[in-house]
């Protein structure tokens, strides 16, 4: 690894720089269980790329292929900084990993933990210490150099693990659910710190999480994985607003999803028959299916409006009759469930005082209704 630059030298990569990571058609299986099924991923220098997915979707396997901890069963291209690393062992790859369980030596000092990798590489003690102190300053633990790891809190341990991964000044930092073991408040604080660190260092971060909220908050781009394949990839706003499938929509928190038959599709707008009703919405799916095919319709709870009386007719809205079912108080908002010809719909009410008392209609903008692959 290069030691000619310091953290302070970090500068943003030039626009249109070649990818720092390139994976083409990676396949991997464990004892016949397919973990990665022809996955292709690239990352730009300085990008914050998040791999999002449920448990078992292949996120960690992908990270281990990049770090060299796992050798892929088959891969077309595996390049770091433009160099083929298929035969390069983990310790010679210019990337380091931060693990969820920290993987620190508990009875060694913070300084010794952070310096460990540099010691293995044979760096002299003075340089090791200077670099460890600099990395600890980055994670705001400059006072903790001599403290034993077992005397630290969970959040402090994760910072030490981060400093240890940063100290070799890798081109890519791999983070495997690094905040998973922290409590809610600390996790939110650490998200902000990681984003600041990423900006300050200009380093490429590849971040694994199963939390859509974490992915949306932190990333330049999200790759959503499903059963070893990429379901959808794009900037957070794109995946949030325009999921391509009911799987992506549900993962991104779209509360109401129904299956229906495609009646019409033109100019980015679709009409769908669901439960004997016609619903219109924005087409956000991939390849356009044939008319009559099964598609999915989705709407977020906060997009729905409930009314006691029939709303004014509007060509820009979908309207359904409904019967009130349940109401759950959530503090900041109220979640109300209504029975409709489509099935039960969840509506989120932020202003409970002015909400319909006994709703018999639900409406939402056609632009706030998404139609996608089932
Ligand atoms: N060492 C292993 N031996 C056998 N099967 C494995 C091994 N590691 C992973 N798998 C299997 O490969 C698939 C992908 O696992 P992977 O750990 O990459 O998923 P993940 O998305 O990171 O999950 P999690 O969020 O739970 O860590 C799963 O079906 C898992 O059970």
In a domain, 2, yes or no: no
Confidence check: pLDDT of 1 > 70? no
- The residue whose C-alpha atom lies closest to atom 3 belonging to ligand 1 is 30
Relative orientation angle of helices 154-166 and 110-120, to the nearest 10 degrees: 20
Same domain, 157 and 79: yes
DSSP letter, residue 142: G
Q: What is the mean pLDDT of residues 196-209?
A: 94
Q: What is the DSSP letter of 353?
A: G
State yes or no: pLDDT of 358 exceeds 90: no
Q: What is the pLDDT of residues 93-131, one digit of tens each?
A: 999 999 887 788 888 899 999 999 888 888 999 999 999
Domain span at 188: 7-241
Domain shared by 368 and 351, yes or no = yes
Q: Please give the DSSP secondary-structure letter assigned to residue 288.
A: P
Say yes or no: 214 and 296 in one domain.
no
Whether the predicted pLDDT of 163 surpasses 80: yes
Do the bridges between strand 172-176 and strand 95-99 make them parallel or antiparallel, or are there none, so unpaired? parallel
Answer yes or no: is the C-beta of 233 below 6 A from any ligand 1 atom: no
Of residues 9 and 223, more confidence is placed in: 223
Cβ of residue 57 lying under 6 Å from some atom of ligand 1: yes
For residue 90, is it within any domain? yes
CB 60 less than 6 A from any atom of ligand 1: yes
Determine, yes or no, domain membership for 1.
Answer: no
Domain boundary among 193, 210, 241: 241
Query: What average pLDDT is seen over the chain?
Result: 91
pLDDT at 169 over 80: yes
- Look at residue 279 and tell me whether its pLDDT is greater than 50: yes
Residues 189 and 293 in one domain: no
Mean pLDDT to the nearest integer, 140-149: 90
Assess whether the C-beta atom of 58 lies below 6 angstroms from ligand 1: yes
Question: Which residue puts its alpha carbon closest to atom 10 of ligand 1?
Answer: 30
CA 58 to ligand 1 centroid distance, Å = 6
Which of 56, 69, 180 has most ligand 1 atoms within 8 Å of CB, for mutation? 56
Tell me the CATH number at 87. Answer: 3.40.50.300
Q: Within this chain, do residues 215 and 280 fall inside the same structural domain, yes or no?
A: no
The whole-angstrom separation of Cα 338 and Cα 343 is: 8
Question: Is pLDDT at 4 greater than 50 in this prediction?
Answer: no
Tallying the residues shown for the chain, one arrives at 374
Residue 140: pLDDT band (50, 70, 90) is confident
Q: Which residue among 30, 34, 73, 225 has the greatest number of ligand 1 atoms within 8 angstroms of its CB, and so is best to mutate? A: 30
Nearest to 75 by CA among 64, 225, 360, 327: 64
Q: Tell me if 95 sits within 8 A of 201, measured CB to CB.
A: no
Residue 282 to residue 297: CA distance in whole angstroms: 9
Does 131 lie in the same domain as 36? yes
Rg (CA), the chain: 25
pLDDT at 353 over 80: no
pLDDT in tens, 328-339: 988 889 999 999
pLDDT band with cut points at 50, 70 and 90 for residue 5: very low
DSSP alpha helix (H) spans, the chain: 59-67, 110-120, 125-138, 154-166, 184-201, 212-218, 236-241, 246-251
Contact predicate 345/337, CB 8 Å: yes
Q: Which of 241, 259, 282 is the last residue of a domain?
A: 241
- Which of the listed residues 241, 256, 282 is the one where a domain comes to its end? 241
14 and 41 housed in the same domain: yes
Mutation probe of ligand 1 site: the residue of 27, 28, 31, 33 with most atoms within 8 A of C-beta = 33
Q: Which two tokens stand for residue 25?
A: 């058609």
- Nearest Cα residue to atom 25 of ligand 1: 55
* pLDDT over 70 percentage in the chain: 96
Q: So what's the pLDDT on residue 7? A: 60
In three-state secondary structure terms, 305 is strand
DSSP letter string, 72-113: -SB-SEEEETTEE-TT--GGGSSEEEEETT----TTSBHHHH
Assign 3 a pLDDT band (cuts: 50, 70, 90). very low
Give the model's pLDDT for residue 184.
85
What are the two backbone dihedrals, phi and then psi, of residue 48, each rounded to the nearest 5 degrees?
A: -105, 100
Residues 254 and 337 in one domain: yes
What's residue 80's pLDDT? 97
Shared domain for 154 and 185, answered yes or no, is: yes
Residue 88 counted as domain residue:
yes
Q: For residue 70, what pLDDT is reported?
A: 95
| pLDDT above 90 (res 60) | yes
Looking at ligand 1, which residue's alpha carbon is closest to its atom 7? 30
Q: Virtual CA dihedral for 226, 89, 12, 231, nearest 10 degrees? A: -10
DSSP 319-338: EEE-EEEEEEE-SS-EEEEE
Euclidean distance between CA atoms 79 and 19, whole angstroms:
9
Residues 313-317 have a mean pLDDT of: 87
Mean pLDDT value across residues 42-49: 97
Number of domains making up the chain: 2
Closest ligand 1 atom, CA of 210?
Answer: 25
Q: Is 352 a member of any domain? A: yes
Residue 223 has pLDDT above 60, yes or no: yes
**Pair 204, 173: CB distance under 8 Å:** yes
| 251 and 236 belong to one structural domain | no
Token pair for residue 321? 């009759």
- The pLDDT assigned to 15 comes to 59
**Same domain assignment for residues 313 and 336:** yes
Judge contact between 246 and 297, C-beta under 8 A: no
Q: Which residue has the tokens 């590489």?
A: 121
Does 41 map to a domain?
A: yes
How much distance in Å is there from the Cα of 56 to the middle of ligand 1? 5
Residue 57 Cα, ligand 1 centroid: separation in angstroms? 7
Residue 197 pLDDT exceeds 50: yes
226 lines ligand 1 (CB under 6 A): no
**Rounded Cα distance, 290 and 374, in Å:** 13
Q: Are residues 113 and 29 in the same domain?
A: yes
From 28, 31, 35, 176, mutation site for ligand 1 pocket: most ligand atoms within 8 A of C-beta: 35
> Helix 184-201 crosses helix 125-138 at what angle (to 10 degrees)?
120
Confidence of residue 352 (pLDDT cuts 50, 70, 90): confident
């Amino acid at each position: 690894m290069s030691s000619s630059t310091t953290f302070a030298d970090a500068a943003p990569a030039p626009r249109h720089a070649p990818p720092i990571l390139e994976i083409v058609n990676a396949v991997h299986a464990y004892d016949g269980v397919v973990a990665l099924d022809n996955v292709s991923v690239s990352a730009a220098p300085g990008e914050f790329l998040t791999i999002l997915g449920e448990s078992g979707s292949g996120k960690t396997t992908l990270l281990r292929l990049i770090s060299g901890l796992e050798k892929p069963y088959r891969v077309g291209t595996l390049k770091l900084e433009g160099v083929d690393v298929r035969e390069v062992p983990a310790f010679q790859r210019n990337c380091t990993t931060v693990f969820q369980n920290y993987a620190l030596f508990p009875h060694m000092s913070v300084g010794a933990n952070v310096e460990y990798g540099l010691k293995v590489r044979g760096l002299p003690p003075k340089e090791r210490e200077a670099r460890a102190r600099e990395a600890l300053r980055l994670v705001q633990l400059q006072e903790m150099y001599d403290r034993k790891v077992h005397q630290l809190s969970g959040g402090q341990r994760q910072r030490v693990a981060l400093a240890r991964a940063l100290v070799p000044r890798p081109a890519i930092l791999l983070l495997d659910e690094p905040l998973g073991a922290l409590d809610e408040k600390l996790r939110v604080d650490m998200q902000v710190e990681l984003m600041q660190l990423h900006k300050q260092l200009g380093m490429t971060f590849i971040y694994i999480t199963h939390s859509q909220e974490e992915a949306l908050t932190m990333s330049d781009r999200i790759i959503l994985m499903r059963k070893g394949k990429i379901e959808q990839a794009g900037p957070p706003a794109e995946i949030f607003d325009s999921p391509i499938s009911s799987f992506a929509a549900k993962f991104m928190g779209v509360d109401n999803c129904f299956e229906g038959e495609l009646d019409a599709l033109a100019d980015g707008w679709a009409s769908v028959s669901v439960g004997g009703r016609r619903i219109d919405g924005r087409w956000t799916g991939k390849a356009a299916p044939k008319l009559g095919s099964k598609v999915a319709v989705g709407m977020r709870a906060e997009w729905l409006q409930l009314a006691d009386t029939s709303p004014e007719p509007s060509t820009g809205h979908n309207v359904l009759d409904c019967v009130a079912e349940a109401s759950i108080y959530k503090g900041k908002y109220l979640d109300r469930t209504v029975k409709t010809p489509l099935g039960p719909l969840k509506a989120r009410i932020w202003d409970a005082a002015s909400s319909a008392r006994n709703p018999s209609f639900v409406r939402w903008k056609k632009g706030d209704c998404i139609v996608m692959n089932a």
